[in-house]
Amino acid sequence: MEENKNHSQDKAEQACRERQSGSLRERLARVKPTRWARFAIVSVIFLAWVAWLGSWWVVVFWPLLADIYLTQYVPWDWWKYSKSQAVRTVMSWVDAIVYALVLVYFLFLFVGQNYQIPSSSLEKTLLTGDYLWVNKMVYGPRVPQTPLHFPLAQNTLPGGIKSYIEWPQWRYHRLKGVRKVQRGDIVVFNFPCGDTVTTKVNNPDFYHLVALYGADAIYSDPATYGKVVWRPVDRRDAYVKRCIGLPGETVRLVNGTVYINGKALPEPMHMQRNYVVLTDGTAIAESLFDNMGVSREGQSMSQMEDGSMGKKMPDGSLLYVLPLTRKMVATLKAQPYVKQVQVMADADMADEDNMMTYPVGVRKTWTHNNYGPLWIPKKGATLKLTTANLPYYIRVIRTYEGNTVAVKSSTIYINGKPARSYTFKMDYYWMMGDNRDNSSDSRYWGFVPEDHIIGTPMFVIISFDKDKAFPGNIRWNRLFIDANPDK
């Protein structure tokens, strides 16, 4: 038995040596027709991809494919002929894992990838716990700016280890897609303010932390905030919002209504606002919350310190603050014990809002419901610069477009030269959540540059309700539904 095994192994080694020997003509003559066919298919796919990429220098890697499939000057599968069973077993797993990772790498880069909804900012259009398939081919995929990264992690591996190597950094280039971002699209993008992060605290972001507590407090307290690190554009956390404003448009909010170039926008079908609900003292039943779809997170806005729901008023009535859609409002108004349902005013938060809305730290009269007007930068458009409007665009000019900016004696300097105007190099977008009063969006961190755009979600892969236990937490009615029903 042992002799037969050794004999078989000797024959395998001999076959391997034969494959690794001979002239080019002899090697090609030994290639089976099926392998020629596979090589032809792979070559067509490779050359089509190179044409789409628009970088013909990549063709230099085609001989590598020819060697893998045909000539085999490099012993790619040497481990198959090893006398050690352990080597063959281990390397077979390594080969399969590497192949899978390479496949996933290119799939995630150029076709699409999954994305989990982490927050309630788009409720009730998309829910916390939805897993989406994000299509990158609609807007055109980006050539990786950070090519050396682990494909199954955005920026961090278990243990806090970076999942990428910062060098090399490639310039932004987007391949041709089907169309550009349109108003109303739900868009997945890299968080613009995610360039600088604290490793232990990600909400609020670094810039809001600095505005609240000061930079010295953040840098001097790593036990609380962790290290302060920089991340490349394509390794920043992914966010999902709805596109409200397009390049070159002017956005304004009046009492929560969005105006673009002076015209009010229709509200998304499932948009939520925060409402004050007043009852005659009757508590709203939990079953009604569940039937309406008010999540535990939404209900928590009305939870008192003792765990009870609703604030007891002097006249005996109960006051709730709840995120509601128009349909939910109609349901509550139909309850006989509900006395009043009205949109919550933002006057009580005006002082905090005007400092925390974009641009952060600049005192203004804007709040998240009464904001602007603000012009959205457009590629090729020239803006006259003043010391009054510079705070609204300095982050675009400096951080996103890579210039130095300084102000000396009321004169603006860009790259060391006096500047009265600036011409933008990229398009920018205004993104907002459908859960309007509970969404961290462009009202707080500003414009989204085109080089941060990842793709648009096509459908919900699966969805889990965090308020329920498995398997009851699976939302079967959301499987494979359209992720952008308003379009």
Q: Given this model, what pLDDT does residue 39 score?
A: 94
Q: Is residue 73 located within the same domain as residue 106?
A: no
CA dihedral 252, 259, 397, 134 (to 10 degrees): 130
Confidence of residue 363 (pLDDT cuts 50, 70, 90): confident
Mean pLDDT, residues 266-281 taken together: 93
> How many Å from the N-terminal Cα to the C-terminal Cα in the chain?
68
The residue out of 324, 344, 364 marking a domain boundary is 344
Q: Rounded to an integer, what distance in angstroms lies between the CA atom of residue 275 and that of residue 127?
A: 19
Q: Name the more confident of 162 and 309.
A: 162
Q: Does residue 14 fall inside a structural domain?
A: yes
Instruction: Measure the CA–CA gap between 164 and 235, rounded to whole angstroms.
Output: 8
In a domain, 443, yes or no: no
Name the active-site residue from 241, 425, 439, 442. Answer: 241
Strand ranges inside 50-136, DSSP E: 112-116, 130-135
Given this model, what pLDDT does residue 14 score?
61
Res. 30: pLDDT tops 70: yes
pLDDT recorded at residue 327: 94
Say if 480 falls within a structural domain: yes
Give me the pLDDT at residue 26, please.
Answer: 83
In a domain, residue 484? The reply is yes
Looking at the structure, do residues 229 and 100 belong to the same domain, yes or no? yes
Same domain as 117, residue 40: no
Q: Where are the alpha helices (DSSP H) in 54-84?
A: 62-66
Is residue 239 located within the same domain as residue 284? no
DSSP characters over 403-470: --EEEETTEEEETTEE-SEEE-SS-EEEEE-SBGGG--SHHHH--EEGGGEEEEEEEEEEEB-TTS-T
Q: Cβ distance 149 to 165 under 8 Å?
A: yes
Give helix then strand counts, H and E, for the chain: 14, 24
Of 358, 376, 389, which is closest to residue 424 (Cα–Cα)?
376
Q: Cis peptide before 359, with omega less than 30 degrees from 0?
A: yes
**110-126: pLDDT as tens digits:** 999 999 988 888 988 99
CA–CA distance, 298 with 294 (Å, rounded to integer): 6
Q: Identify the three-state secondary structure at position 209.
A: helix
Rounded mean pLDDT of the chain?
91
Residues 163, 46, single domain; the answer is: no
Number of domains the chain contains: 3
The closest of 116, 479, 123 to 297, measured between CA atoms, is 123
In a domain, 114, yes or no: yes
All residues at 6 or more sequence positions from 50 whose CB lies less than 8 Å from its CB, including other chains? 56, 58, 59
Convert the pLDDT of each residue in 232-245 to its tens digit.
Answer: 999 999 999 999 99
Q: Choose one of 297, 327, 344: the last residue of a domain.
A: 344
138 and 209 belong to one structural domain: yes
**CA angle 325-277-475, nearest 5°?**
40
Q: Are residues 67 and 99 both part of a single domain? A: no
Of 121, 440, 442, 463, the catalytic one is 121
**pLDDT greater than 80 at residue 354:** no
**Span 383-414, pLDDT tens digits:** 999 999 999 999 999 999 999 999 999 999 99
Contact 294, 438 (CB under 8 A): no
Whether 426 maps to a domain, the answer reads: no
Q: How far apart, in whole angstroms, are the C-alpha atoms of residue 81 and residue 16?
A: 7
pLDDT digits (tens, 9 = 90+) for 333-351: 999 999 999 998 765 555 5
Asked if residue 37 is part of any domain, the answer here is: yes
pLDDT score for 74: 87
Question: Is 284 contained in some domain?
Answer: yes
Tokens of 404: 């130095």
* pLDDT higher at 325 or 55: 325
Token pair, residue 299, equals 């209900």
Please compute, for residue 292, the number of CA atoms within 13 A of its CA located in the half-sphere on the CB side: 26
Q: Specify the pLDDT at position 167.
A: 92
Match 């302060």 to its residue by tokens: 228
Percent of the chain at pLDDT > 90 equals: 71
pLDDT given at position 124: 86
Token pair listed for 142: 């980006």
Based on the fold, state whether residues 196 and 331 are members of the same structural domain.
Answer: no
Tell me which residue has tokens 């920026």: 155
Q: What is the pLDDT of residues 58-97, one digit of tens each?
A: 899 999 999 988 888 888 888 888 888 898 899 999 999 9
CATH number of 218's domain: 2.10.109.10
Distance of alpha carbon 344 from alpha carbon 275, whole angstroms: 5
328, burial (CB in 10 Å: exposed 0-12, middle 13-18, buried 19+): buried
At 390 the three-state DSSP class reads helix
Q: 73: domain range? A: 2-83
Instruction: Please name the residue ranges forming H helices in 111-239.
Output: 206-213, 215-219, 222-225
pLDDT digits 0-9 by tens, 166-204: 999 999 999 999 999 999 999 999 999 999 999 999 889
Same domain? For 144 and 286 the reply is no
Do 107 and 235 have their domain in common?
yes
Q: pLDDT band for position 468 (50/70/90)? A: confident
**Would strands 161-162 and 448-449 be described as parallel, antiparallel, or unpaired?**
unpaired
Q: Please identify, among 63, 83, 103, the residue that sits at the C-terminal boundary of a domain.
A: 83
- CA 475-273-204 angle, to 5 degrees, is 80
CATH number for the domain that contains residue 328: 3.30.70
pLDDT tens digits, 281-314 = 999 999 999 999 898 888 888 888 777 788 899 9
Residues 210 and 139 in one domain: yes
pLDDT for 200-230, tens place per residue? 998 899 999 999 999 999 999 999 999 999 9
Residue 99 shares a structural domain with residue 245 = yes
Active-site residue, 83 included: no
> Is 121 labeled as catalytic in the residue annotation?
yes
More confident residue, 330 or 466: 330
Tokens describing residue 158: 């278990």
Can you give the pLDDT at residue 297?
Answer: 87
Cα 155 from Cα 234, distance rounded (Å): 9
